[in-house]
Amino acid sequence: MSSEAEKIATALGAAIHARDAAAIQVIYADDIIVWHGSTGQAQTKNENVAMLAGVFEITSRLEYVDIRRHAIEGGIVQQHRLVGVFEDGRPMPDLHACLVIQVRGGAIVRIDEYFDGSVYAEIWDRLQSLTPVS
């Protein structure tokens, strides 16, 4: 496995665990595309970092566990469980996910993320409550 891809994937996991959106800004290339299999939608760097910042706001703990990584050309495939606790102390549902991470020039240039969107429903609902309705 590329030591660059391993190092960057580890840094991403650490930033998620620290709930640090600024660190993710540094890890992501400016032109990154983050595609979500559960929605079929792609996000830009700013859109994805803003979404993650919202997730950090509604949680008090968040981390990848049971991480398995497999080398691919230009990056890695990472399987993991995302576990955490909501800010109200309630456990988040475990989210089993697979990320296909492409790396270039010391930054992540693309992530294709796969998970069961129905497991994430409560997280989406809580994220929606952060956005004021006009």
3-class secondary structure, 3? helix
Domain ranges of the chain: 3-128
Kindly tell me if the per-residue pLDDT of 81 is higher than 80: yes
Per residue in 85-131, pLDDT tens? 999 999 999 999 999 999 999 999 999 999 988 877 778 788 888 76
DSSP state of 7: H
- Per the rule left: phi > 0, alpha: psi between -120 and 50, beta: everything else, 62 is beta
**Model confidence, pTM:** 0.89
Which pLDDT does position 86 carry in this prediction? 93
- 22 vs 120 pLDDT, higher one: 22
Q: What is the CATH number of domain 3-128?
A: 3.10.450.50
Q: pLDDT exceeding 90 applies to what percent of the chain?
A: 82
